[in-house]
A = this chain, B = another copy of it.
Amino acid sequence: MIKRGFQVAARFGHHKPLPRNPQILPRLHLVSAFGSSTDSLVARFCPEKTDFKDYALPNASWCPDMLSLYQEFLEKTKSDSWIKLPSFKSNREHIRGLKLPSGLVVASDKSDQRIFTRCIQDEGQGYEYVIFFHPSKKKSVCLFQPGPYLEGPPGFAHGGSLAAMMDETFSKTAYLAGEGLFTLSLNIRFKNLIPVGSLAVLNIQVEKIEDQKLYMSCITHSRDEQTVYAKSSGVFLQLQLEEESPQEQ
């Protein structure tokens, strides 16, 4: 398992590619010690003032369960070190001033890009979600309400929509907890279907950080915790973003 993960890291640019693993992406610089503290990452990720629209705010489509749990966590941001993460239209806005390592930059055609989980902008029709992050405990909670455009079986959320919500919450958690940048693996066991329009709560925990990889777990359940919707794990590769030069900004 560890060997396999390490081979994957080689594909994503480990500085010593292993034999028999052709390096497809250009070589990237993987630093061995990650310099950015969670505090500095959070400070940059959650600007006090920004012109970008935050989509992780209550709207008329939120069900009562979602609204009340949001208010509960908002209270915790005042006293218990929880942080409400903003959610912009694109990751480009989240990492403004930074860019992917140079081996991973593609030409942009300046089209209208959106992060997948904000692909539908009609309130309540697609993804409604908000992520709270606890820096010292290295855990996150995501409140997720799938709309009718996220359907799989009639009346229920598509398994893939939950998989994407997990990947996105893992992704933001991994970045803030330790500069985790790319999903290496995602393993999901589905237990029950989520009715469209209802609240699912994702509880994510960073289990360990080892060999430039973050290992995380997630349990998704109903608000009353009586119904487990899915259990999953995710492994992310640590990679540092690079500063953009002034002419790129």
CA–CA, A165 and B160, complex, Å = 7
Total interface residues on A, CB under 8 Å, equals 69
CA–CA, A4 and B190, complex, Å = 11
CA–CA, A92 and B154, complex, Å = 6
Q: Is the CB of B182 within 8 A of A151?
A: no
Q: Which of A162-209 contact B (CB under 8 A)?
A: 163-168, 171, 181-193, 195-197
Of A37-45, A76-84, A104-112, A136-144, the segment with at least 4 beta carbons within 8 Å of chain B is A104-112
What is the copy number of this chain in the assembly? 2
Residues of A contacting B: mostly: mixed
A214 beta carbon closer than 8 Å to chain B: no
A sample of 25 cross-chain residue pairs with beta-carbon separation below 8 angstroms, ordered by A number, consists of A4-B189, A12-B192, A90-B151, A90-B154, A92-B154, A95-B154, A104-B153, A104-B156, A106-B196, A107-B155, A108-B154, A108-B155, A113-B148, A113-B151, A113-B154, A152-B171, A159-B167, A159-B183, A160-B160, A160-B164, A160-B167, A163-B163, A184-B190, A185-B190, A186-B188
